[in-house]
Chain A
Amino acid sequence: MGGQSFYKALLRCYPAAFRDEYGNQMVLMFNEQLGEARRTGRPVETAALWGRAAWDALTVAPREHAHVIFQDIRFSVRSLAARPGFAAVAVLSLALGIGANTAIFSLWNGLIHSSLPLVKHPEQLVMLTDPQASGMWHGNEEGARTWLNYPEFEQLRDQAGSFSAIMASQSSLEQWQVRYAGHDWEEAYGRMVSGGYFETLGIAPAVGRLFTAADDHTNSSNAVIGYGYWQRRFGGRAVLGQTFTVHNAVLTIIGVAPRGFVGETAGQEPDFWLPLRLQPSIMPGEDLLHEKPPEKAMWLQVFGRLKPGVSAARAESEANAIFKRGLQQFYGGVSSPERQHQLLDQSLKVRPAGRGASETRGDFATSLSALMAAVGLLLLIACANLANLLLARGAARTPEMALRLSLGASRGRLIRQLVTESLVLAAMGGASGMIAAWLVFGALERMISLSDASFRMSFSLDPVVLAFTVAVTLAAGLLFGLLPAWQVTRTEAGAALKEKSRGALGSMGRTGWGRSLVSLQIALSLPLLVCAGLLARTLTNLQHVDLGYPTDRLLTASISSRVAGYDTARSIALFSGLLDRVRRMPGVTAASLSSDGLFTGAQSSDRVQVEGFVPKTDKDQSSAWDMVGPRYFSSLGVPILAGRDILESDQGAASKVCAINQAFAKQFFAGRNPLGLHVSVADEVGGRVTTYEVVGVVRNYRTRSLRENVRSYLYMPLAQPPGDEVKRATFLVRTSAENPGMLAGIRQAIRQVDAALPVDSAKTMSEQLAPSTESVRATAQVAEVFGFIALALAAIGLYGVLSHNIARRRGEIALRIALGAQPVSVVRMILRETGVLVAAGLLLGGGLAYAASRWIAEQLYGISPQDPMVGAVSVALLLAVAFGAVYLPARRASRVAPMAALRQE
């Protein structure tokens, strides 16, 4: 009958269990109703009946499915609650695994992958400058331009037709001292941007208004503040019209940027934006708005929005044409045609900018990828472990499953039940993982901001991150759930029941999977341990690098005199007076200063001409240089190998002298005695040449990097500068005892001389050095933590599988003992079997460790990626843990009382 089979087909919409239970009754009833309807003779009755049946399939059937799922979940929760230890271990390891993955993915997503938040049509945005660079460069560049200067930006803004909007922003986020009326000075992060900034990014204000093109032409003193700053600093109260002071500028808040907007640089969140036109009052003593040949002050990132239909290539060629015209004007006066040709060899490169600029992105891309791989491994280990525990548990449940199968439960139903259990575990792990992610993200953010103070990014569960977490959770649940479910239900009902009743000798076949997983875990732990070891050794090596001077009891303080309005001559006088004052402070044993300081990131370098030296290539002529105060080397503790230190008398009209380091002597004097010979520093464009007589040779010492070779260095007295160069100084103060409290005293001494002098930083030398090792330290810590977790997980896995195995093989072991085997030989047998697992794991792990160590080779220092000691210690550690995990189960096996065990079986 057609009607009946169609109705039966409709019943397929219901869960199998429901169908099995009530299907026949429903068919029976439907037939009766159908007959009744037909007897009325009205087709509409029949149609209504079919309509209700179809409606049932659409509404009742899904409810029944939900009921089954809910039941499965309830059953799973109850069965997990019965084993709280297992549930806790499972949820914890999953939370850690999923949390770490989510946090690192979130960071990766925010920094490396996703487009700038809120920016309209990010795919149309391009940059004409280097997205991964921030800072400022006075001088001349060759090749592709890193940054532009303000007049170059103006030319592009006014002449380029390829862009619907174009804007410039200060490439570095600045930390400024700001003051609101009636309040003390406070710190805030800001950035100067051109009038078209917000329009180019396609941003509308949350409150008030934003900058417009007019801000490029009038000297408006407008400021736009960030949403986060508005909430933090003002609690979201009305702020329009509020004024604040930054250096010589008094600014008025005209608007608030929308919530979530961070600007054009990923990982940074300015507190406010100021118009570029205000640069001279915000950075007093320096005019960056106008060109001052012979050098360019390059400091701006330039972004454009391509007009519809304009290709990046076309925009690039147009921008380059405008840029080249500007260069020709600027370098027209260079006398040497060869040098002019070199200087004109500069170009703009148009790059996609939807993800914005980011210096951090370049710095951390490798570390983040490595971290992603590491936490991915961790999650795999956790999954392998859970699969193992579930397998062990599943084997114990085999009789139960066999019973349910023989009672007519379908295999699909049992798999569904077991997988639901895993998914419930995974969901609990995923939910706790969110909390773990939030914690880990905070730690990572702090880690990055240690090496990049302006880095700020908040953990946000945006849809991409949430989707990632849900996907990872589901994948994990299926990964560790499906395999054991498959294994456990594979049993044939009769066979398993018989096996149980007969107490069969354990066959290892069933747990083959579990054993492979143990090997895999050991294999996965080894690379983590090796990397942790290598990085830890690197950290120790870096911390013990000989800088060439003692770093204890050394304080540093940097001052920008140019910003406070001092020219070179007044700066020299200021620094000399300050140095006298600092040297007289009680507790100070020595003090001096240099222009670029130690590990400040600043470095000056130029082409030099050395008496009697014939350069082979252009690069041969380059040397770093620094201007130093009197008695610099003896104050710092750098040994003077020949000649003398820079002295107070080396100033002004006295004959100009300099010191050089060993590297300089080697590069330029190669075996000659440098003392008394002359070195000239030439101004590239202006042709101004300053010549110094070498009066001292000092031992190489490190000022910039712990790893790189020390480059050749020329040290001239700060009081005899090679041009109009003195704008800042870093004071180096050696104290009689370790006393960071003295930094306050130094700050005060500076304030007493001129309260307007900004102290950029005041730190102990170890604080100053910390960022140089921070990245390695952080990576090492992460690898250590993950390595030990992996080790612990491997131990748990090994222990779980072995105790289960031994429990299964009690009968066999008892029989062996009954037949005369010594307990010790039983232990030996188990150790031998474990040894095979461990050896297989180590073999595979060795390969993985080799690959991993080559991957981090770039981060290592003073140690080979294949260091045998680290490898041996890692393997020994793994072996110790593995055999520790085996010991208890093995001992239990050797104490099996044969008769009791056999009777029990």
Chain B
Amino acid sequence: MREAKPESLLPLPAAVFHILIALAESDRHGYSILQDVAARTDGKVRLSAGTLYSSIRRMLEQGLIEELAESPDPSSTDERRRYYRLTRFGRRAAAAEVQRINTLVQQAHQSGLVPGA
């Protein structure tokens, strides 16, 4: 799967895209991803635990993210937490998704569907 083209994963499900964005800045554990997504969207997108870990399971298999062997935060006391990091492949997939959305937006403007910038 790691050798697949990022385009083969498009369009990315909304939850997956949100998780990629949350992991772009720093490595995070699950709950931190959740909080980041909620904060970014003013609380409009609230991922549930099931959706989050189902997405993480899939993203790990697809090679979009990887799990860290140990906590990146030496001050963290909770060893139970598992941290995730964006891979290069994940970054390329996100870029491809942005490209896809951009093209769509342009087309919407050009066709007059939406008043254009």
Contacts and interface: CB of A to CB of B under 8 A. Distances in A.
Bind each other: yes
Interface of A: 14, 18, 21-22, 24-26, 28-30, 32-33, 52-53, 55-57, 59-61, 63-64, 67
Contacts of B80: 24-25, 28
10 contacts: A18-B53, A18-B57, A22-B56, A29-B31, A32-B31, A33-B49, A53-B49, A55-B48, A56-B51, A63-B54
Interface in B41-91: 46, 48-54, 56-58, 80-82
B54 A52 contact: no
Contacts of A21: 57
Interface of B: 30-31, 34, 46, 48-54, 56-58, 80-82
A589 to B, nearest CB: 82
B51 A25 contact: no
A26 B33 CA distance: 13
Nearest to B51: A60
A53 B31 contact: no
Contacts of B54: 18, 60, 63-64
Contacts of A32: 31
The 10 closest A-B pairs by CB, nearest first: A56-B50, A60-B50, A22-B53, A52-B48, A26-B49, A29-B31, A60-B54, A56-B48, A29-B49, A30-B49
Contacts of B34: 29, 33
A52 B80 CA distance: 24
Contacts of B31: 28-29, 32-33
Nearest to A48: B46
Contacts of B50: 14, 26, 53, 56-57, 59-61
Contacts of A24: 80
Contact of B30 (A25, A55, A59, A61): A25
Label chain A's interface by main secondary structure. helix
A49 B31 CA distance: 14
A22 B51 contact: no
A56 B49 contact: yes
B26 to A, nearest CB: 18
Given A26-B53, A29-B34, A52-B48, 6 more contacts: A25-B81, A28-B31, A33-B31, A33-B34, A56-B51, A67-B58
Contacts of B46: 52
A413 B82 CA distance: 25
Nearest to B58: A67
Contacts of B58: 67
Contacts, number: 51
Contacts of B30: 25, 29
Indicate the member of B30, B48, B49, B57 with the most A CB atoms within 10 Å. Answer: B49
B1 to A, nearest CB: 12
Contacts of A64: 54, 57
B48 A25 contact: no
Contacts of A22: 53, 56-57
A901 to B, nearest CB: 42
Indicate the member of A21, A22, A64 with the most B CB atoms within 10 Å. Answer: A22
A526 B49 CA distance: 62
A471 B3 CA distance: 40
A61 B53 CA distance: 11
Nearest to A52: B48
A14 B52 CA distance: 14
Nearest to B34: A29
A25 B80 CA distance: 8
B108 to A, nearest CB: 30
Nearest to A51: B48
Contact of B82 (A25, A53, A57, A60): A25
A60 B51 CA distance: 6
Contacts of A29: 30-31, 34, 49, 52
Nearest to B78: A28
Contacts of A28: 31, 80-81
Nearest to B60: A21
Contacts of A56: 48-51
A21 B54 CA distance: 11
B109 to A, nearest CB: 35
Contacts of A26: 49-50, 53
B76 to A, nearest CB: 13
A67 B52 CA distance: 16
A30 B31 CA distance: 9
A33 B43 CA distance: 13
A58 to B, nearest CB: 10
Contacts of B53: 18, 22, 25-26
A742 to B, nearest CB: 73
B34 to A, nearest CB: 7
A64 B55 CA distance: 10
A27 to B, nearest CB: 8
Indicate the member of A14, A60, A61 with the most B CB atoms within 10 Å. Answer: A60
B55 to A, nearest CB: 9
Contacts of A18: 53-54, 57
Nearest to A63: B54
A60 B82 CA distance: 21
A21 B50 CA distance: 12
Nearest to B52: A29
Contacts of A63: 54
A7 to B, nearest CB: 9
A64 B49 CA distance: 14
A55 B47 CA distance: 12
B47 to A, nearest CB: 9
Nearest to B31: A29
A100 to B, nearest CB: 42
Contacts of B82: 25
A21 B30 CA distance: 13
A852 to B, nearest CB: 55
